[in-house]
Structure 1
Amino acid sequence: MKFQRIASLLALWVALLSFFSATVSGQDWRPLGPQGGDVRSLSVDPQNAQILYIGTSDGHIFQSTNGGARWELVGRVGERQDAVVMTLQVDRRDSRRLFAGTQTLRDNAGGVYRSEDGGRSWMRAGLHGQVVRALAQSQSRPDLFVAGTLDGVYRSTDSGKSWQRISPAGHEDLRNFDSVAIDPQNPDFIYAGTYHLAWKTIDGGLHWMPIHSGMIDDSDVMDISIDPSDANRIFATACSGMYRSANRGDSWMKIRGVPPTARRTYFLRQDPSNLRVLYAGTTQGLWKSADDGLTWKRITPAGWSVIALVLDPKNPNKLVAGTERRGVFVSEDGGVTFRPSNQGFHHQQIMAFAADPENEERMLLVLTNAQERILTTRDGGRSWNSAGMGVAPEQIRRVFSVPGGWWVSLSSGGLMAYDEKKAKWSKAGFVAPSKTVPVARPGKRSAPPVQRPFQQIVNDLAYGRDIWLAATQQGVAGSRDRGATWFEFSAPEVRGTPALSVRASSDGRHFYVLTQHGLLASSDAGQSWNRVELPVPAALAVRLHNLDDPTLILASKVGLFVSEDSGRRWRPPYLPGMFIEDVAVSEGILLVSTQSDGLYSSTDRGESWIPMEGPVAGARFPFLANHRINRSFVAASSTESLHTLRIDLLSAKRTAQQAPSLTSMSQQSQLKPNQQ
């Protein structure tokens, strides 16, 4: 009996391996934009300044082989989507070898990773579980690395194969390290900046001494650099500004010339061809000094937050700047002018998305990390236009494509509609006046009823032939005049019950409402409602979709459920255990996005599933839409901007025939002991 159970589990494991090794070969991923996004780290190949790397906030690595003119997504550091690449180093000895230090957001962990193929694949290289915010390689002894973590300072003398702590454990001040630097001649001289001032060791970490004389107290030291011509000259940048030391950090002098509003400085770099020329990246632009820091001039707009800079040693006029929200900018004239250089770098964070089902070239995005946060396109993503006037992006709860335009629901309640001619958002919808007419006093005319703005918090919208439906925190509302006025459905089953999702049949007679307490259905346009049993507790339900009039799809936190008879019976879960975020259908292919397991497709109405492949396939795509014109899908990512995905139906079917069904595997794993 026990042997049979083990054999069954082994068979299941083999099936899972077979499943996850099978991916659809006929896939075509294409970015739609918008370009740009957050640059978290920027590094250059010491042997070839044309080769650059970007580290991002979700672990992805982008590479440029032409000095930043074009970028390619080449790999991901680790497996997690919340791994921020805090620091990135190209090995001085081998251009194909990269090192990265990461910080994971959910559990404040991370580690050091190494790549041997130019960033395409990565392996752990120590300090697993540590937040690694700084990493430096010794010039005089290139097998020696130093890492700054929240826990302390660590050193490797074998190119990252092993690490030793060189700062005392549990020290009150020797923690929360944000920057490290190694003396170019003597690797025992190590400088380290913390969230609270700076430290150094002159004996490889045996003893540490504070070096903050002259620094403003409680300065977060973000960067430390050493003058390549004089190891006594040290530069440090902090939240309190810039500092210079002429005696290896024993005392500091504040560098003046940058206004206090821009004093939070990420880095200071010397021009390798003229060390008197300095560049400083701040939260308010990139600054340049031509006289060793005596005077400064801002050379970018103040709105740029410049967190990284690469200088070409063979071309002193070439600057490559990495910014927050705006991506990469390149200057060919020493900073006199800059141009955006984000071709191939698609890393915008999409927080809301809608596509026009009648005109699939029209889409709307709300971004979390861009200067222009609300954008629309009318040409399928070839160009994007700002559409943010009149509404604060942080107030937007959801966006909708309604017949004739764009609407948004607000977190504070109510709806807004976009006027394309005026390029402006305005409040939309009123509450329909009560049918009860007040009795007029003798000799006085009755005042017309006062229209009240529709202020309910809207979670979802749906459209029937002659009615719009809104799922709100207060229940279900309807409109028969395209959203101009709204009325509440008064049936006790829906009134006052928070509704998460709503769907309507094409004839406008059948309504389905997913609430916090379960699923409700009406077959008489909302006059009466019946409770429909869900296959999971209501707390696990996410959103309701209708494939066609009798076919319902329930996205849940534990898998995908399908009913072909309006909810009377539900099939066993597809993709069991996965958090389903969105569903789309195109040309017989069902595409599903999950919260942390990527995208899956099915060509047989859910009987078998194949994971999508490609550089961005493992990203999180909270929003999907079908694109009937191109027989493809549109996938909106929380980190990777917008993409189209075209799946060849024949290739998908051939792959599906070779892969086991996730449903059957789930049923096999759940057999009772006496069946195994």
Structure 2
Amino acid sequence: MPIPRRYGMPRSPLRPRRATRVLALIVILAPVAVLAAVPADANTATPAAPPRPRGPMAPGEFKARQDTSGGLGLPERALVRASEAAAKGPRLPVDWRSEGPTNIGGRVTGIAVDPNRRDTVYVGAASGGVWKSTDRAATLSSVWPRRNPQAIGAMAAGSDGAIYAGTGEANPGGGSITYEGDGVYKSTDGGRSWKRLGLQNSATISLIAVDPDNPRRIFVAATGSLFRPGGERGVYRSEDGGRTWTLVLAGTNDTTGANSVVIDPGNPQRVWASMWDRQREPELRRYGGVGSGLFRSDDGGSTWRRLENIVTPTPGDDIGLRSDPRLGRIGIGVAPGDPDRVYVLTSTFSQFGDVKGFYVSDDGGGSFRTGTLPVSDVPFWWTGHLWVDPADRDHLYMPSANLRESVDAGRTWKVNQGMHVDHHAMVWDAKVPGRVYEGNDGGVYRSDANGATQTWIKAANEPYTQFYSVTVSAQDVTRMAGGTQDNGSVRTWNGPRWNGFLGGDGEANVIHPHNHDILYSCYQFGACFRSDDAGDTLTELRGAVADRFNWFSPIELHPADPSVVYFGGDRLNRSANGLDFTPISPDLTGGPGRDEVYPFGTLTTVAAAKTAPGTVVVGSDDGRISLTRDDGAHWSLELKDQPWVTRVEIDPRNARRMFATLSGYRASGTGGHVLYSDDGGDTWRDISGNLPGAPVNDIVIGPHGILLIATDAGVYAGPPSGRFWFRLGDLPLAAVTDIEFQASSSHLIAATFGRGIYSTRIPRELASSVHAAGRQTP
């Protein structure tokens, strides 16, 4: 529902001493609130899906701060290098089984329609690889190599049937969480095989354009890394089908890349491009700059002219298209049916990404008139494009949280309904008049009525959901729940195999170990609930005191007495009945960060000791580990100046054995990701051993005491003392955000950010192999 500009956020508990900080967050994050859609077949639960914060700023900050440890930029091709190291390391042959969901979906960033195979379409998932459908996007199957980077930024098809995929999502933030890639890939056999064509250091790719008359002529909008300057940025052209590339439009500085590249279908010598100057630092986000601008080439991309003074700025916009430090992402739409009709949408540089100018040309860009500025209910840096109907030059779409549609060349706009929110891709099928495909944070949709509102059909099989968390019943391994990006919290019972029961961005989910009808579930910033009827109805947790809550606020049930629950903000809160909380600590962080948008200085993980009453350990986003041995009466700071602490764990049989996992990409030999204490937290040592240099997101103690960890580069097993690690099987290269070990069935459950949930059995023989390796390691 619409709410006053810059004064809205999800309905969440305003606890004592929390209101001031939450109000600040409201002002920054939430100009307009949008309901995050729960899948259509989900059971309706209480409370209803909450309004989300404006745009994906918060989860992006959540992940970016983790991965860029120590305030340093993200290393070049960090995930790819970690994956390459993982592939060379030891591996144990376990079989992972996909547990879905297939009916929930996830963010889609690119779509390509096969020009030679009817009803065939290729879909690029933001962190889930490339998927193919031969039934008009009703069902999809993966055609992407498992060890390739799974982040897809753009898709395109040539008239010769070649399919192109650009890796690395250019939408910042966001990650929602977003990931980088390693260049452009091409398939000439319907997705059965892929060849990398180069541009390995482009990091992110926003668009790919193939000349409709000459499929060997290709343009790529390489946006570059958000986290470091340099690399391969700008508009690249290939005239030999991608074998070689030439930088034909470079940025004015080393933080400027390309956002859009569009070939005039009536005159392929005319090419349009928009450049985007952007950079993300630990406490600064600059999503615009003097390098942003609109460009046109009339000689096939060999030379370019910047179009600066060609528009009269929209009222309220004093920038227009001039070089200005405030100019942000620019979308371009060229009407395929009349290429002289060109649309341009501009935005500001800020975290709000406000749309500022809308311009229309009827002479191929010789002149522009001012159009009506559409409403954007998420920052335009999150969506960033325009799409024009190939059969009607006056019919266009602007992506936002809601899809905005105009049928009169942008004079008026309306909301096109019937889909999930946050839109990123749209393409028409040239073989079937009126058929159009659309991609958003909920998946891929098809309309056979030219996109008319309420005519969209969602795909029925989309196994690329982005999970933040997973929990499993101790009594029934098939009973799982988890939190997802922009698709709420979902479960496997009381409805279809997976169905939604709490909206927003699903965060922590915890099933009671003795009674799986008792469930705790959260959405962002500490809005957490308890259900006693398996999620059908939910009651908000009461009384917790905190000034700041993390995007993913931790909840821990005491392993000896699960009626006792711990809940972290900047302080730790405790409940004796699982519903009413009181604080048991002061602020256990280094204090609030300087970031005006995101509430840094928060607890990220909690663990209680099963065999030592009163012993609780916590970790924070500013790299601190704190400990109490008397249930909060006294606290000691055990470790500081570490990267983001992703998980702390206490051995249930020996409370002196503690583990901590850390985030951050780091070069070989420059720091560990897994720490171990055998003296109750007094001293810690690095047991990362041969792990690749990727973030570690979770650790659990498995059968016979072996250690199981989740990383951005797969799942690993190590002996009780760590030091030597085996990769378990061959999961797709999507970040594994959470793992749970279900002891009664010896199953390990893994949540991935982009490929759904996987499970595998951990047999006794595997544990023995891991133990043996530990004995042989010095």
Query: Same fold judged by TM-score > 0.5?
Result: yes
Q: Which residue of 520, 538, 555 corresponds with 1:424?
A: 538
In the alignment, residue 136 of structure 1 is paired with which amino acid? A
Which structure has more relative contact order (CA 8 Å, sep 6+)? It is: 2
For 1:636-651, list aligned pairs within 5 A.
Answer: 636-641=751-756, 643-647=757-761, 649=763
In the alignment, residue 708 of structure 2 is paired with which amino acid? V
Distance change in 2, residues 1:101/1:414 (3 Å): closer
Residues 212-231 of structure 1: CA deviation (Å, up to 9, x unaligned): 44674536541333535x55
TM-score by length of 1: 0.70
Distance change in 2, residues 1:344/1:184 (3 Å): same
Aligned partners of 1:386, 1:192: CA distance in 2, in Å?
43
Aligned partners of 1:417, 1:37: CA distance in 2, in Å?
26
Aligned partners of 1:281, 1:526: CA distance in 2, in Å?
53
Aligned partners of 2:294, 2:637: CA distance in 1, in Å?
64
In the alignment, residue 268 of structure 1 is paired with which amino acid? W
Residues 429-469 of structure 1: CA deviation (Å, up to 9, x unaligned): 68xxxxxxxxxxxxxxxxxxxxxx89997855342545736
Distance change in 2, residues 1:19/1:161 (3 Å): closer
For the 8 Å contact 1:24–1:651, the answer to whether it is kept is no
Q: Which residue of 181, 193, 198 corresponds with 2:294?
A: 198
Q: Which residue of 154, 171, 179 corresponds with 2:236?
A: 154
Distance change in 2, residues 1:564/1:488 (3 Å): closer
Gaps of at least 5 residues in structure 2 are 1-84, 224-232, 277-291, 322-328, 347-354, 587-601, 663-671
Instruction: State the shift of 1:38 in Å.
Output: 1.5
Instruction: State the shift of 1:317 in Å.
Output: 3.9
* Partner SS, residue 89 of structure 2: helix
In the alignment, residue 287 of structure 1 is paired with which amino acid? E
Counterpart in 1 of 2:184? 113
Distance change in 2, residues 1:340/1:407 (3 Å): same
Instruction: State the shift of 1:69 in Å.
Output: 0.9
In the alignment, residue 540 of structure 2 is paired with which amino acid? S
Distance change in 2, residues 1:161/1:651 (3 Å): farther
Query: How big is the alpha-carbon RMSD for the aligned residues of Structure 1 and Structure 2?
Result: 5.1
Residues 536-577 of structure 1: CA deviation (Å, up to 9, x unaligned): 998786544345423745133325467889789999825555
Distance change in 2, residues 1:218/1:49 (3 Å): farther
Q: Which residue of 102, 122, 133 corresponds with 1:64?
A: 133
Instruction: State the shift of 1:331 in Å.
Output: 2.3
Aligned partners of 1:188, 1:414: CA distance in 2, in Å?
54
Counterpart in 2 of 1:674? none
Counterpart in 2 of 1:92? 159
Distance change in 2, residues 1:561/1:221 (3 Å): closer
Instruction: State the shift of 1:295 in Å.
Output: 8.2
Instruction: State the shift of 1:321 in Å.
Output: 1.6
For the 8 Å contact 2:217–2:241, the answer to whether it is kept is yes
Instruction: State the shift of 1:145 in Å.
Output: 1.9
Counterpart in 2 of 1:328? 444
Instruction: State the shift of 1:99 in Å.
Output: 4.0
Distance change in 2, residues 1:298/1:589 (3 Å): same
For the 8 Å contact 2:661–2:698, the answer to whether it is kept is no
For the 8 Å contact 2:491–2:500, the answer to whether it is kept is yes
In the alignment, residue 331 of structure 1 is paired with which amino acid? S
Counterpart in 1 of 2:25? none
Residues 66-111 of structure 1: CA deviation (Å, up to 9, x unaligned): 2201122332698556x5x33222233243x424264576999766
Gaps of at least 5 residues in structure 1 are 1-15, 431-452, 491-496, 668-676
Aligned partners of 2:744, 2:238: CA distance in 1, in Å?
55
Counterpart in 1 of 2:599? none
Greater share of strand: 1
Residues 617-657 of structure 1: CA deviation (Å, up to 9, x unaligned): x222222123356542322233434x131236378579869
Counterpart in 2 of 1:178? 259
Aligned partners of 2:392, 2:766: CA distance in 1, in Å?
58
Distance change in 2, residues 1:398/1:414 (3 Å): same
For the 8 Å contact 1:581–1:593, the answer to whether it is kept is yes
Aligned partners of 1:414, 1:169: CA distance in 2, in Å?
42
Instruction: State the shift of 1:260 in Å.
Output: 4.8
Paired-residue identity, %: 16
Aligned partners of 2:632, 2:406: CA distance in 1, in Å?
70
Counterpart in 1 of 2:211? 138
Distance change in 2, residues 1:179/1:489 (3 Å): closer
For 1:292-311, list aligned pairs within 5 A.
Answer: 299-301=416-418, 304-311=421-428
Q: Which residue of 407, 430, 435 corresponds with 1:313?
A: 430
Residues 590-612 of structure 1: CA deviation (Å, up to 9, x unaligned): 56333333111358996864313
TM-score by length of 2: 0.62
Q: Which residue of 269, 285, 288 corresponds with 2:403?
A: 285
Aligned partners of 1:131, 1:530: CA distance in 2, in Å?
44
Bigger-Rg structure (1/2): 1
Counterpart in 1 of 2:334? 225
Aligned partners of 1:566, 1:329: CA distance in 2, in Å?
53
* Partner SS, residue 266 of structure 1: coil
Matched, 1:267 2:364: no
For the 8 Å contact 2:477–2:745, the answer to whether it is kept is no
For the 8 Å contact 1:61–1:74, the answer to whether it is kept is yes
For the 8 Å contact 1:600–1:610, the answer to whether it is kept is yes
Counterpart in 1 of 2:280? none
